[in-house]
Amino acid sequence: MGDETTADADDGAATPDAARAESDAHSDATRAESDADSDRDVGTVYLVGSGPGDPELLTVKATRLLEEADVVLHDKLPGPEILEAIPEAKREDVGKRAGGEWTPQEYTNSRLVELAREGKTVVRLKGGDPFVFGRGGEEMEHLAAAGVPFEIVPGVTSAIAGPGTAGIPVTHRDHTSSVSFVTGHEDPTKDESAVDWAALADTGGTIVVLMGVGKLPQYTAALRDAGLDPDTPVALVERATRPEMRIATGTLATIVEVRDAEAIEPPAITVIGGVAATRDRVVEFLRNRTGEAGGVTDE
């Protein structure tokens, strides 16, 4: 600073152009420094999959991030054991339930950016995997557009883990070598369904429907109309991997009646295909978390 003052004195009064140039240079430097400070202050958002609900199926990385996070924005789908292990002071519920309370996605997107710009480490905790019908892709794009750094932490998807823990493999060499994952709860603002049930019926593979309890009558009828055998085995897996897990089985023709009789409720997974009958052949020796034979309640 002293050297700059001496130079000004020796050279006489600065010209207007020189003064303007110096001012512009100073402004540019200040702006660059401010931007650098801003970048340093912005926190990171972690889009984390919590798995199907059993806390022992959380990944090691997810567990660490939950401990380190300043704030956890969570869905209602992570199991209660997982959510209760997070200090209440840093939990924010932004979850949705079909037909129940819900938080606008726009709010969640804005909240993630707001918290990150406060310099916080943020975990956006989702049921299953954040990129399997979890709107993680939308949140990722919003964060990128806002200039917020983020990281994806995959989770064990309930689409595979749910049937698996019920003794139902989604692929099996004796039954099928393909599997399709479908949402049963599309965006209600769509003019028509984006799911081609006729094409799915033609694959001959396993069909796994997530969030499909409410629309079960519609899509089972669509599959039958498309030529899928009404005797095709179907299983409903409710609250997969949790202590209160329940499984109900039937066929494409009977599963709606089974659902109603056994009062199967969301969250539940529908498995359609020959693999759904595998459970009956192994259930005697299947153990769940309690170690009891059968392990789950078959209603």
245 is an active site residue: no
Give kind and range of the element (H or E) at residue 272. Answer: strand 268-272
Q: Distances from the Cα of 166 to the Cαs of 49, 108, 202, 213, 240, in angstroms? A: 21, 33, 26, 17, 8
SS3 243: coil
> Looking at 96, 129, 140, 215, which residue is catalytic?
96
Tokens representing 198 are 């006729």
SS3 35: helix
> Looking at 140, 211, 215, 245, which residue is catalytic?
211
Buried (b) or exposed (e) across 186-205, using 16+ Cβ within 10 A? eeeeeeeeebebeebbeeeb
State the Cα–Cα distance between residues 166 and 257, nearest whole angstrom: 21
Please give the single-letter amino acid code of residue 227.
Answer: G
> Looking at 54, 75, 129, 140, which residue is catalytic?
75
- Give the phi and the psi of residue 185 in degrees, each rounded to 5: -135, 80
DSSP state of 296: S
Please give the single-letter amino acid code of residue 186.
Answer: E
96 is an active site residue: yes
120 is an active site residue: no
β-strand partners of 207: 180, 272
- Which residues are marked as active site? 75, 96, 211
